Amino acid sequence: MARNCRFAVAVHVCAVLTLRREDPPATSDWIAKSVNTNPVVVRRLLSALGKAGLVQSQRGISGGSTLARDPAAITLLEISRAVDADEGPPLPQQEPNPACPVGANIRPILTDILGRAEAARERELHGITLADIAAAIRARQDL
């Protein structure tokens, strides 16, 4: 997992689009007020989500963004991959010493371990859809 807030904000953005599914497109300005950030930050995320095919945007008057698919068909894993580029496992750029038995063999082992950890995280996110998020929000509203 990257140490930034892009995923969290992207889910917030998508949640807004999900709850506003029947309404006219949401502008980056409107969404930014809900997130409490700058509209450009929202547009950057929407651009990434659009390239991943999760969202559609329209320019001009009465423009804005809408979900491209059924919320039940969009997983949080897709959102994560859309906004956070895969940078590979966090290994030091400097290669270890091949003259040491550990240095000579640890690299692929670490890559495997870090890959498995990341896969576990992704499996979790794959099991959650935007429909689940919307349901959780509605449940909290009805308290």
Partner DNA sequence: TAATATGTAACCAGTATGATTACATTGTTG
Partner DNA sequence: CAACAATGTAATCATACTGGTTACATATTA
Work out the angle at residue 131's Cα, subtended by the Cα atoms of residues 139 and 19, and round it to the nearest 5 degrees: 70
What residues numbered 44-83 form the site for DNA, per CB under 7 A? 44, 46-47, 50, 57-65
Cα 130 → chain centroid: 11
CA gyration radius for the chain? 19
Work out the angle at residue 25's Cα, subtended by the Cα atoms of residues 55 and 12, and round it to the nearest 5 degrees: 55
Instruction: Count Cα atoms within 13 angstroms, Cβ side, for 99.
Output: 0
The answer to whether 118 contacts a second copy (rule: CB under 8 A) is yes
Asked if residues 28 and 49 have their Cβ atoms less than 8 Å apart, the reply is no
Structure tokens at 15: 């949640």
Partner in contact with 47, chosen from a second copy, DNA, none, beta carbon below 5 to 8 Å by kind? DNA
Partner in contact with 73, chosen from DNA, a second copy, none, beta carbon below 5 to 8 Å by kind? none
Asked if residues 133 and 18 have their Cβ atoms less than 8 Å apart, the reply is yes
Please state the closest distance from residue 61 (CB atom) to DNA, in A.
4
**Which of 1, 33, 38, 115 is in the footprint of DNA by CB under 7 A?**
38
Q: Which residues form the interface with a second copy (CB under 8 A)?
A: 1-5, 7-9, 11-12, 15-16, 19, 33-37, 76, 87, 89-92, 94-97, 100-103, 105-106, 108-110, 113-114, 116-121, 123-125, 128, 133, 136-137, 140-141
Q: Which residues form the interface with DNA (CB under 7 A)?
A: 2-6, 26-29, 37-41, 43-44, 46-47, 50, 57-65, 90, 92, 94
